[in-house]
Amino acid sequence: MSVYEESLEYHSSGRKGKIEVVPTKPVGTQKDLTLAYSPGVAEPCRKIAENEDLAYEYTTKGNLVAVLSNGTAVLGLGNIGAAAAKPVMEGKGILFKRFADIDVFDIELNAPNPDDVIKACMMLAPTFGGINLEDIKAPECFYIEEELKKKLKIPVFHDDQHGTAVISGAAFLNALEFVNKKIEDMKVVFCGGGAAAIACANLYVNLGVRRENIVMCDSKGVIYKGRTEGMNPYKERYAIETKKRSIAEALDGADAFVGVSVKGIVTKEMVAKMARDPIVFAMANPDPEITPEEVLSVRKDAIIATGRSDYPNQVNNVLGFPFIFRGALDTRSSAINEEMKMAAVRALAQLAKEDVPEYVSRAYGGQQFKYGREYLIPKPFDRRALLYVAPAVAEAAMKSGVARIKIDIEAYREKLQTFLGFAYTAMRHVKKQARKAERDMGRRVNLVFPEGEHHKILQAAKTVSDDNIATPVLIGNPDKIREEIKKLGLDDLLEDAILVRPSTDARLEEYARRFFEKRKRKGITVANAETLMKQPMYFGAMMVEQGHADGLIGGAVHSYPDTIKPALHCIGAAKGKTLAGIYMVVTKKKTYWFADTTINVEPTAEQLADIAVATADLVRTSTGVEPRVAMLSFSNFGSNTHPATVASRDAVRILRERNPEIIVDGEMQADTALRPDISAESFPFNQVPGDANILIFPNLHAANIGYKLVWRMGGVEAIGPILVGMNKPVCALQRGSDVNDIVNMASITAFEVYNSMTNRMPTGERKST
């Protein structure tokens, strides 16, 4: 099946099209209906009538963009009409929502007359916080945008023009670093003559390219003074005095080519005559003006970008418009001006220089990316673009005077992190707490990674180090570790990480002796102890036990039992504690804690109470949230007397006797723990009436199945397992954990270290938080 046939099936299967409207408020009761509609809705109407700005408080206006087209220049298909443009506009809506959580109504106007488009936008403006113009032919698109900017007080942005300009501009700035040329000396040929080409030229001039060094070409050739064929006032701005008439003549000696035209318009012979280290941005879609293979066959020194994802340096507008609008909407800007676009350019250029997260590599089949000639701009799936571009745009809006409200940029950046996923938000507080260690303890936490040669561990260790969460201690062959670090481009990690080879470490003999003393009556001989201590997992655990490291993170490539066993043998469980594995299950609205998901097959009532106490302590200290514990069962408060329900029921009694400060109830079914209406109707005495945040399962079967079901069915993220009950902090990862999982677990482990150490410090020695 071809990609076009697949696309037809994609658009027609199930609910037709690609978007739907989803309510954000409940409409399940009579009261809900009176608030959502008549009579209650009258009050926000009255308030907005008094002050129109209150539409931003009581309606979706502040997060709603119109994606609007008249269908006169759709993709490379030309003037195919408004109805035929709808799939593209719906697609744009998906991208707005997916990348920046901006809501969209797509609007297709049967309005080939540009004045009709302007009139329609002016009539629709009260509905929207901004308007994204799309697929409108040149030169009408210039006129429409210019007029709307004059007449409206909301941002209007023609993405076909400015999106390509912003993204390619970021790539251009970075390309200059590799060709060692000054922007004011660059001779640039723009090819297209339409909306995108002229917008690119305008932006490149603002970046520093001299207008006299620009040659603009279109389908008729060079745009020169005196030319009349195919001209308009916008092209006329770039008409120059020159004897050059063809693209081939324009490219002779040129430093850069920026193409937004048609397939095959540039030949190898033309590129061969360009200046040294030519920059070739062949961005025509779906097929470039010249392919990278053709360019490299004659110019190995070329830097190349296209509009396609199957080549390096994809100039994709999705890196721009969602985040530019995000920054504009959140400052209620009256326009998107040049300052805001330039801020977006520089933010994207900077992001490309940062280490690339593993999730980006995974989205591209495991391909590794590092700033260089083939990685000038971020990939579209780099979620950090939101955190770089939107704040930069918002700040530029405030400084340039188009922002109608002022915001705190640092607080705004933190708020934007909520768009990156539920788990990202949930972990933010934990990471903040972990970073306090250096201030309050006088040093950073040292975390041991026994699988120190593995690429995921190294990538995670780099993040842990860069984010000031902990100092990584990497166990393995130092030569292999250094080689892998170099291969991954993580050279800075070598400046902070501690590398340890157990077989040659001066502490080996002492560790083996101490391990023998611990296990000599449990089948371990002196020779066994010496052999085991040469294994990274055992050596790392003994480092923690002996106080030479603070916590251990393992299990990325080892099984869960093979990770837990060395820790238990070297460090051991805390006296009087029950070992357990906890998962944070993060939904859009709330975080839940499931226990015990990994250790105890059939826990007793006492063990269930212990697990609840340990989980409650973790929740309170790591998040500041009040723990509310539900002991789960298939029975509600004695409704079933089967022996399997007894342990959960007794655990409630034990917990109340031991720890009366903890809010707990049960035994209860899961929906009773989560649905307030059930308790209100049938169990008014319930102490956690549908508001539980800690769910203690009766056994390992239920807990393990439960967390995996809700996780894999979608809509939630799971972080764990978090091991509690050990003498010192140990994390046993799930085998196959990705880099982000490892960073999250390292952050939790570092927090546990910090929490345990500060709790042991005399009050007078603790620094104020």
Which of 10, 37, 58, 364 is labelled catalytic? 37
Check if the beta carbon of residue 580 is closer than 8 Å to that of residue 611: yes
**Rounded CA separation 30/24 (Å):** 17
Which of 92, 379, 462, 728 is labelled catalytic? 92
Q: Which residues contact 349 (CB under 8 A, 6 or more apart)?
A: 170, 171, 173, 174, 377
Beta strands in 28-114 (DSSP E): 64-69, 103-108
Look up tokens 């804690």; give the residue: 593
Cα angle: 105, vertex 108, 109; to 5 degrees: 130
Residue 527 CB-density burial (10 A; 0-12 exposed, 13-18 middle, 19+ buried): exposed
Within 10 Å of residue 38's Cβ, how many Cβ atoms? 8
Active site residue 244: no
3-state secondary structure at position 664: strand
Q: In what order do the strands lie in the sheet with 471-475?
A: 498-500, 471-475, 446-449, 551-554, 730-732
Q: In what order do the strands lie in the sheet with 580-586?
A: 663-668, 628-632, 694-696, 591-595, 580-586, 717-724
**Rounded CA separation 608/441 (Å):** 34
Residue 767 CB-density burial (10 A; 0-12 exposed, 13-18 middle, 19+ buried): exposed
Look up tokens 């140990």; give the residue: 730
**Rounded CA separation 269/190 (Å):** 18
> Hey, CA dihedral for 9, 13, 15, 21, is it positive or negative?
negative
Nearest to 258 by CA among 287, 220, 215, 300: 215
Active site residue 268: no
Please list the alpha-helical segments (H only) found in 602-675.
605-623, 646-658, 670-674
Region of 672 please: left (phi>0), alpha (psi -120 to 50) or beta: alpha
**Rounded CA separation 726/753 (Å):** 12
Catalytically annotated residues: 37, 92
